Chains A and B, each alone.
Chain A
Amino acid sequence: MIINGETIAFAVFAIMAIVGGVGVAALRNLFHAALSLLVALFGVAGLFVLLAAPFLAMVQILVYMGAIAILIIFVIMLTQRVAGMREQYNRQWILSGLVALVVFGVLLMVISQLGTPENAMWNPSAVAATLPDDAGVAALGADLVDANRYVLPFEVAGLLMTVALIGAIAVARED
């Protein structure tokens, strides 16, 4: 493996993502777990940049870290007296760990298969060094509203936001 800027950046962001992920899955303090979710999300955002998706990296930071994670922290603050800041694992944690391990094992097995000669994913040269002309934010935006492409799921996603709005009000409204 060649040590260059990208490898170092990958290593840093990957470690952030993994450390954050471990924190979410294992930290006993609710608030600390939420903070480590933020770290993991930031790591993933960094990886998005490396994968030539800077727009989604920004969305990740704005929507996931700025809105979702902060909302989660708010709810923790709202409910901590009942939930308690500390939390126990449930009783079948050994079984749960096994299930997660099996899922991971299968995925790893499958992904390591990608290294066979006829598969190109291990081979950096198979990945185009330059992006196509139609990449970038403009293309993403055009695809979303282009009737040839993703306008239907885009509309449905809008509908989904409406439902979430109605739902959150219907659920949380005091009457």
Chain B
Amino acid sequence: MELPTLQDLNLAVTLPSMGLALWACVVLAVGLFLPERRRHWNLVLSLGGIVALFLYNLTLFDLPADRQSAFLGMYRADNFTAFVNLIALVTAFFGVLMAYEYLKRTHIDRGEYYPLLLISTSGAMLMGASGDLAVLFVALELLSIPLYIMSGLRRPNAASEESALKYFLLGAFSSAFLVYGVALVYGAAGSTDLSEIFHRVNAGLILDQGLLLAGAGLMLVGLGFKVAAVPFHMWTPDVYQGAPTAVTGYMSVGAKLGGFAGLLRVFIVALPAVSGAGDATGWQDTIALIAALTMILGNVVAIAQRDVKRMLGYSSIAHAGYILMGAAAAGSPDVRDFAVSASLFYLLAYAFTNLGAFAVTVAIEKDDATNPQLDDFNGLSKTRPVLALAMALFMLSLTGIPPTAGVVGKFFLFQAAVNAGMVWLALIGVITSVVSAFYYLRIVVNMYLREGPGEAQAQRSFLGVAVGLAAVGTFVLGVAPVLFLDLAQRAVLVALGG
């Protein structure tokens, strides 16, 4: 057996995800010895690691071809991975920042939160980088298991515990679908390596087309659960409502990012040649249908919600639908590159916006373990004008109104759908966006036009920093998208042998 050299392994490019997991262990070990009054070191160390890896990750764009894979194909270090890493690190940054004071005032300041969040983030990054179905599967679990635990952190609060159990059971159920899908795809193609599967499908060397399709379908079910796509969304509102708010905020972006990174990676790198009608690949219609249902259901049901976290839960379902529209468009070969970059750009826009919205929700949450309601926003513009302004910006962005990140992202996604010949899907997207204005703007109305106490937590805080940074991100992506669009455009997935 010939041993590969360290250079073949190319460990350096795996540093963003693997380094984050390693750093999580450091944070965990240090956290054990921190006395009560030095707990802020948890925050400092976590943020330090995230920022350092973020900067390092910037150097990983446009690597030369011979450095684009590590562990000999198991890990893909292309621009897609680098961009997913970018979004994941942003998400982790906000997840840590908005949790710090929240954990203290809800008395769940357990040291485990930070390492768990970092490891979960590294799982999301690894999903986007996976070059093999085995990596995809363990990465999915690495993303999910910490999230189950974090959802239940607010014990002995019954809602938090139930949310954790529900998330766990449905997560395990969906993993079982994913594994069975992997098994069938392996049975059809005789390999779990994504490029190898692509080559065999392309060359017609697979055992059976039906087996491959069934496997792909089951994997779609498993990943659909993760990203909360209809009809696999049932767990979302309950889990979002019961989990600690800071965790919900992190989960709403982190889990979706991992799910979509894995979904795009598998379906575009390994399975693009699954035959379908015309030029398009076989799975395009299925994903388009799921996207349509997800957009419609998420937006319509969100209207009826009074609980802010539950509403944002349905809103996150709706946004999964928009991103799925991009994934469906990527099924057409000539639109693929544009659709992938549109989806990635939207994920980044959604990360800033949604994390900002959750940071504000954390700020208005009372300490008495009740969930924030829409009426809690009443009169916020009088008591906390800056916070209200930021929240208004996030709501505009979620609706898709300029000058925000959301509108630019949606524009690209609609354009991708139209270019792929799915005008009907883009139309549904536009119509549901108009519907969504109803519930997003209700918060703005409550803040600016209604009278009320509109209380919020202390002003000068890490939470305030999180809100501010998210607002800046949302605004900058909205007025100067070119800065990130260039990166997103380069982050296309190419189905070629590694």
Contact = CB atoms under 8 A, between A and B. Distances in A.
Interface string B29-71: 0000000000000000000000000000000000000000011
Interface string A119-134: 1110000000000000
A142 B2 CA distance: 12
A160 B144 CA distance: 10
Interface stretch (A57-65, A73-81, A105-113): A105-113
A164 B138 CA distance: 13
B71 A163 contact: no
B188 to A, nearest CB: 9
A72 B70 CA distance: 39
B211 A160 contact: no
Interface stretch (B145-153, B286-294, B380-388, B425-433): B145-153
A163 B211 contact: no
B208 A147 contact: no
Contacts of A110: 184, 208, 210-211, 213-214
Contacts of B1: 142, 146
A90 interface: no
A110 B456 CA distance: 57
A151 interface: yes
Contacts of B116: 163, 166-167, 170
A150 B148 contact: no
B71 A147 contact: yes
A48 to B, nearest CB: 14
Contacts of B72: 147-148
B44 to A, nearest CB: 20
B142 interface: yes
A162 to B, nearest CB: 7
A167 B141 CA distance: 13
B155 interface: yes
Interface in A77-111: 106-107, 109-111
A66 interface: no
Q: Kindly name the residue among B71, B135, B139 whose own CB sees the greatest number of chain A CB atoms within 10 A.
A: B71
Interface string A135-164: 000000010001110111101110110111
B135 A119 contact: no
Given A147-B3, A171-B149, A121 B207 contact: yes
- Among the interface residues B3, B4, B14, B138, which one has the most CB atoms of the partner chain A within 10 A? B138
Given A110-B214, A119-B208, A156 B149 contact: no
A114 interface: yes
Mostly, the A contact residues are helix
Contacts of B152: 171
A148 B75 CA distance: 11
A170 B21 CA distance: 18
Given A146-B1, A159-B21, A114 B139 contact: no
Contact of A156 (B126, B208, B211): B126
A114 B142 contact: no
A169 B271 CA distance: 40
Contacts of B8: 147
Nearest to B72: A148
A159 B74 contact: no
B21 A113 contact: no
B196 interface: no
Q: Which 7 A-B pairs have the closest CB atoms?
A: A167-B149, A170-B112, A110-B210, A152-B71, A152-B74, A156-B138, A110-B214
20 contacts: A107-B214, A110-B208, A110-B210, A110-B214, A111-B211, A119-B207, A147-B3, A147-B8, A148-B72, A152-B70, A152-B71, A153-B134, A156-B139, A157-B138, A159-B21, A163-B149, A167-B145, A167-B149, A170-B112, A170-B149
Given A142-B1, A167-B148, 11 more contacts: A110-B213, A111-B211, A113-B211, A147-B8, A152-B14, A152-B71, A152-B75, A156-B138, A167-B112, A170-B153, A171-B152
